[in-house]
Structure 1
Amino acid sequence: MSPSRAQEAVTVRTFAQRFSATRRGARLARMLAVHQLDRWGHPYGSPASETVALVVAELAANAVLHGRVPGRDFELRLHRESDHVRVEVSDTHPDHPKLPAPDPTAEGGRGLLLVEAAATRWGTSPRTGPGKTVWAECATHAAPSLCR
């Protein structure tokens, strides 16, 4: 390549990072996801950023609380597409999550209900090795924020 030709920009479409299966790891996953969204052109506080932050927070919290296997981390992957971001959280626990029956008196257990409300689609899939991946697709086009 000649020095006079401009170098083409490389478009990063995937972010992947492993985190300790702790509350601190879950918090860091959310913070880095929002930072990556900002780098992809969805600024802090935008509807896409808020939706992805909510989904990552809930899926990472579930990986730490329900998917934790001692000595094993969880992984966050973000895949940027033209109209959405796919969030994937993988852990090594074999049980796949299910939507709970609504219980207005329960102090917790609403994380997947929030994911279902915020995401356009979500589900689970097996992963290589032990465990599973819980994924959700979040729209990135202009839409009302779910976090107001």
Structure 2
Amino acid sequence: MSLSQQRRFPRRKTSVRASRDFVIDVLTEWRLTPLIEDIRLCVSELATNALVHGAPPGREFAVRLSATDDLVRLEVRDSGEGQPVLREPDEESCSGRGLHLAAQLAAEFGVEHHVVGKTVRVAFKRPPAI
């Protein structure tokens, strides 16, 4: 069984909350509620990065959720030139922890570079059916 849903969001601050709501709605529809908290946190971080660093003014970013029998994958794609860097922030830093946190929560983390933009993805092991 393979499922997939995608939604595009404008480059606005309200889109981060809208992307969280989208993820919650889809995971609830798919009956994957045990993953909601981790994936909601990850989409918040990845959508914020797309908004701040990735999506140029006037452009959008896309959030895609897909599920197979084994994995649930979250992807955030933008058309910006900035490249995400997974780094270990120091204790004094006020930012820079989002990608590190997403990579720690997920079973898989990766970045796919495109001719225009990139996709940051995280994947989670699918919980057993309830």
Query: 1:77-120 CA deviation, whole Å, 9 max, x = no partner?
Result: 11111122111100011222111232100111100011011111
Q: SS of 2:89's equivalent?
A: coil
The count of corresponding residues between Structure 1 and Structure 2 is: 128
Q: SS of 1:31's equivalent?
A: helix
Q: How does 1:27-38 map to 2 (within 5 A)?
A: 27-38=17-28
Greater percentage in helix:
2
In structure 1, what is the equivalent of residue 5 of structure 2?
15
In structure 2, what is the equivalent of residue 96 of structure 1?
83
Q: How does 1:1-148 map to 2 (within 5 A)?
A: 13-43=3-33, 46=34, 48-127=35-114, 130-141=116-127
Alpha-carbon distance between aligned partners in 2 of 1:103 and 1:62, rounded to the nearest angstrom: 19
Alpha-carbon distance between aligned partners in 2 of 1:51 and 1:18, rounded to the nearest angstrom: 21
Alpha-carbon distance between aligned partners in 2 of 1:40 and 1:76, rounded to the nearest angstrom: 16
**Paired-residue identity, %:** 34
Greater percentage in strand:
2
Offset of 1:12 from its aligned partner? 6.8
* Structure 1 unpaired stretches of 5+: 1-10, 143-148
Alpha-carbon distance between aligned partners in 1 of 2:47 and 2:36, rounded to the nearest angstrom: 16
* Structure 2 unpaired stretches of 5+: none
Alpha-carbon distance between aligned partners in 1 of 2:32 and 2:62, rounded to the nearest angstrom: 22
Offset of 1:68 from its aligned partner? 2.5
Which protein shows a greater Rg? 1
Instruction: Normalising by structure 1, report the TM-score.
Output: 0.80
> Is the Cα contact below 8 Å between 2:88 and 2:100 reproduced in 1?
no
Instruction: Normalising by structure 2, report the TM-score.
Output: 0.91
Alpha-carbon distance between aligned partners in 2 of 1:64 and 1:30, rounded to the nearest angstrom: 14
In structure 2, what is the equivalent of residue 8 of structure 1?
none
Alpha-carbon distance between aligned partners in 2 of 1:96 and 1:106, rounded to the nearest angstrom: 20
